[in-house]
Amino acid sequence: MNQTTRRKYLIDYLLNESREYKGMAVPSDETSQRQFLRGLMNVRMPGEIGADFLEVQNEYLKEELAEKGIVTLEEIQFSDESIGIWKGDITRLAVDAIVNAANSGMTGCYVPNHTCIDNCIHTFAGVQLRCECGRIMRIQGYEEPTGKAKLTPGYNLPAKHVLHTVGPIVQGRVTRHDEELLASCYTSCLDLAAENGLESVAFCCISTGVFHFPNQRAAEIAVQTVREYLKKDSSVKKVIFNVFKDMDEQIYRELLEQH
């Protein structure tokens, strides 16, 4: 199969799997088909899926990743504190774990083609990630508390694992409790990484954006928490702050220049 054939197969499979979407018209052009497939993956609930689908999906996502390009640790400049900054798509990073800013349901973003990091990570990891998160949450039996973390495989991502954490949602003024919960997100992820012998972790900007934590204060907490953690004797040797906006990149660079 080539990518066009794979994409058509995956779309047909997901449409036929659902009574709601079965028979829906499929776009004819490549760009629209890509978005259509992503949307179908985004709305699919966790649950069993055929081995044939997974085989085709994995090959499809492998080719998509090759087109985007993988970013290795060697391409990132680290400070003498073993902290790096990288601006771009976190799903391209070949590290031991990337961090997902999850919601309390922990099974991803269900909004078709949404640009949030939760949606992107679940899309390019493949449907296995949502299935695994769903399994973990069924066993847990309650929503994920803010400030805690869970570890899953990375599946089709270049990252070996995904650390999922729920950041605080700021309502109005940032409180001391909000700050403590955000710091706990970073500590919980690093603790879990260390428990599993992971050496490199890439953090997104947890709780900024739709969770309304001010970017400057969020970055200050992130840098302070990571700096203190890296002083410990643990398996975690390198931490990357992954940013997407110019503003966040500038904030982190200024903070890391301060010793």
Query: pLDDT digits over 195-246, tens only?
Result: 999 999 999 999 998 888 999 999 999 999 999 999 999 999 999 999 999 9
pLDDT at 89 over 80: yes
**Closest by CA position to 118, among listed 247, 30, 36, 209:** 209
In the β-sheet with 97-102, what is the strand arrangement from edge to edge? 83-87, 238-243, 200-203, 97-102, 161-166, 149-153
H or E stretch at 72: none
- Cα dihedral: 75, 81, 87, 92 (round 10): 50
What are the residues facing 100 on neighbouring strands?
164
Instruction: Please give the C-alpha separations between residue 218 and each of 67, 166, 181, 197, in angstroms, as whole numbers.
Output: 33, 14, 11, 27
Residue 74 pLDDT grade (very low, low, confident, very high; cuts 50, 70, 90): very high
The pLDDT mean for the chain works out to 96
pLDDT at 98 over 80: yes
Q: Are 188 and 174 in contact (CB under 8 A)?
A: no
**Closest by CA position to 151, among listed 142, 138, 164, 135:** 164
Contacting residues for 40 by C-beta, under 8 A, at least 6 apart: 10, 11, 14, 15, 21, 112
Range with the poorest average pLDDT among 33-37, 166-170, 206-210: 206-210
CA distance 253 to 72: 20
**Closest by CA position to 34, among listed 4, 66, 54, 68:** 4
